[in-house]
Amino acid sequence: MRQAGRYLPEYRDLRKTAGGFLDLCFNPDFAVEVTLQPIRRFNMDAAILFSDILVIPYALGQKLEFLEGEGPNLGPFNPDALAFDDTRLAAVYETLRRLRADLPADKTLIGFAGAPWTIACYMVQGHGDGAFNKAKIRAYKNPDAFDKLINMLVEVTAQYLIKQAQNGADALQLFDSWAGLLPEPYFTRWVTTPARKIRELVATACPGVPLIGFPRGAGSLYEAYAAHAGVNCIGLDTQVDMQWAAKALPHDVCLQGNLDPVLLLTGGKAMRDGAERIMTAMQGRPFIFNLGHGVIKETPPEHVAELSSIIREFRA
């Protein structure tokens, strides 16, 4: 998660020369290079495409800019004006083709998209504030209209993920960063059901390409998500206890997670203990070691190197 990014000096150096963040996402030379930077440094088993989840609203025609130090800002939400233009994403597909050609065969290339609920949050509200009450109020007031938006995003997201697989992604991840904001029955309606539909469309078009679902903050609803979304792998956020997950979630589903990014920032014994606790709980089942959320920008790269040797030692 956020393997590339501001904690790496080589990313910051390149970023200075290359213009706005969105320009970087759509510049294959840059995107290939920053995807490979963490792999060169730390030799991870998988590379995640350098892009952003918000390229989907952009491809739908909604204005998008990333303001320095402020995160994303979207233009006014006008559902009638939205039209998906896949040619706006051509650079992402080219980046994936080049990455798959450049990466050794034993490295997995992960493509990704934002899940419909999280994308709808940004589209409706225009910026992230962690609560998204404006988006929730719109959804709760007129759930049928909101279904239309979600269903449109299901179609577009599935199409986008399928094209990523066709252009070289070996696995796909669906980031539902704000899933934890929805209680039942809305969680099922706008998180689990859309994930299941996307999974079905992806599985039909590209059988054998696994889909990782990450309903961040789902809490006790992780169980229902695991049972009904039909994804091959479930990403767990920092708050989920892996000892609980090992018992509660189906054994044939791969789990991914979930070291607290602050432990990576801290380093030392706290980081080692945290990583070992997770790996001990996950022994004997399909598992992908990851953070529970993105790398914090102040994280010393040496801590990432140390963490990767801790994981390799444990696995050996």
Q: Which residues bind ligand CP3 (CB under 6 A)?
A: 1-6, 15, 21, 48, 50-54, 66, 71-72, 112, 128, 175, 177, 294
The CA distance from 290 to 116, in Å, is 23
**Which one, 71 or 268, has the nearer CB to ligand CP3?**
71
- Min dist. Cβ of residue 12 to ligand CP3 (A): 8
Sign for the CA dihedral angle at 148, 152, 158, 161 comes to: negative
Tokens of 168: 């070289």
Packing angle between helix 28-42 and helix 9-17, nearest 10 degrees? 170
Determine the distance from the C-alpha atom of residue 104 to the mean position of all C-alpha atoms in its chain, rounded to a whole number: 23
- Min dist. Cβ of residue 58 to ligand CP3 (A): 12
**Which one, 2 or 100, has the nearer CB to ligand CP3?**
2
Name the residues annotated as catalytic: 2, 6, 15, 52, 122
**Which one, 53 or 181, has the nearer CB to ligand CP3?**
53
**Which one, 178 or 287, has the nearer CB to ligand CP3?**
178
Tokens of 278: 């997770």
Cα 179 to Cα 39, 57, 74, 216: the distances in Å are 29, 18, 20, 6
**Which one, 172 or 229, has the nearer CB to ligand CP3?**
172
Instruction: Write out the DSSP string of 24-53.
Output: HHT-HHHHHHHHHHHHHHH--SEEE-S--T
Closest CA to 194 of 239, 134, 146, 236: 146
Q: Which helix (H) or strand (E) holds 215?
A: strand 211-215
